[in-house]
Amino acid sequence: LEATSGLDGTFAFEGVDLTPGVQLALCATYLDVMYHDPFDAPAEGSPVSRDILVYDVTGSDETISVTSAHVIFYPKPEQSAVEVLEFFMFQNSGDRTYVGAAEGGAGNAGETLHFTLPEGASNGALHQGLSEEQVQWHEGGFCSLAPVYPGQQQITYYYTLPYSGKGKLQFVRHMDYLPAEILVMTAGNQGQVTGQGIVSQGPMDLQEEGQFGVYRATLSPSQTTLDLELSGLAGGSGSA
C-alpha cells in the first residue's frame, strides 16, 4: 500500500489487514533514503497511529565510529583453516543519515562503510546487519551501499583463512575503523593468541556455544593494523 503525505506531513492507509499477529511495516522515503519501522498489528485490530523519523543527509563520515569490535576464530583442523567471524557496532553520533562520499571526498559515491579483509581470505559471507543487495564485493573486501542512520548499527560477517602445517595463523587485518580495543575469541578455547597489545582474559563459557578463549587487543591511536598470531592449532598442511 502507498500513500502521499499531506501539507502537514500526515498520511493514512485504508484497508490494512489488522488481524492480530500480522507483521506490518511503515516505510517512508525522504531525500531518496528509505526509512523502515516494523511493528505488530494491535491485538484488538483497532486503527494504529505511528510516527516515523526521517533525517537530512550528509556525505561526510565524521560522525561515524566503531564502539565495539569482536574477532572470533573457529578453527577447522580437518580443513587446515580457520573460519573468522567479525562483529562491528557502528555509531552515527550525528543528526543526519550518512549516504556516502560527497563529491570530491574519499571513496566512491554511494559507498558508505568499508571492510578490508586479510590477505588470503575466501568464502566471505554476510551474517547480520546487511543484505547481499546492499553490498559490493571486491578484491580484498567489500563495501556497504546502505545508508547509515543516526544511532547504532550492528554488522557481522564470516570469511575463511588457511593456516600452516605448524598450526599457526598469522592474522594481519587492516582496520578501516579504529575502536579503542577489540575483543578476540577462540572457539573451544583452541590455540593461543599473542601479539602486541594482546592480553588474555582467560576462558569464558557461553551456554549454547561452549567455551571460548578470550583476549583483549588494545590499539594505539596511530595503529591501523591488527597483527596477531593464533598458534597451537591442530592439523595443518604445507609450511609456515
Predicted local confidence at residue 239, as pLDDT: 40
Predicted local confidence at residue 68, as pLDDT: 95
Predicted local confidence at residue 153, as pLDDT: 96
Predicted local confidence at residue 240, as pLDDT: 38
Largest CA distance in the chain: 70
**Ramachandran class of 167: left when φ > 0, alpha when ψ lies in -120 to 50, beta otherwise:** left
Predicted local confidence at residue 108, as pLDDT: 60
Question: Residue 147: is it exposed, middle or buried by C-beta count within 10 angstroms (0-12/13-18/19+)?
Answer: buried
Displacement of CA 82 from its chain's centroid (Å): 19
- Cα 214 to Cα 137: distance, rounded to the nearest angstrom: 30
Question: pLDDT digit string (tens) for 124-175?
Answer: 999 999 999 999 999 999 999 999 999 999 999 999 999 987 899 999 999 9
pTM of the model: 0.85
Q: Does the pLDDT at position 92 exceed 50?
A: yes
> Residue 107: which pLDDT band, with cuts at 50, 70 and 90?
low
Question: pLDDT digit string (tens) for 1-50?
Answer: 787 877 887 778 877 777 777 888 888 889 999 998 888 877 776 667 78
Predicted local confidence at residue 103, as pLDDT: 52
Question: Which is more confident, 220 or 122?
Answer: 122
Predicted local confidence at residue 178, as pLDDT: 87
Q: Lowest-pLDDT range, 11-15, 52-56, 100-104, 141-145?
A: 100-104
Predicted local confidence at residue 238, as pLDDT: 45
> Residue 112: which pLDDT band, with cuts at 50, 70 and 90?
very high
Contact 126, 132 (CB under 8 A): yes
Predicted local confidence at residue 206, as pLDDT: 87
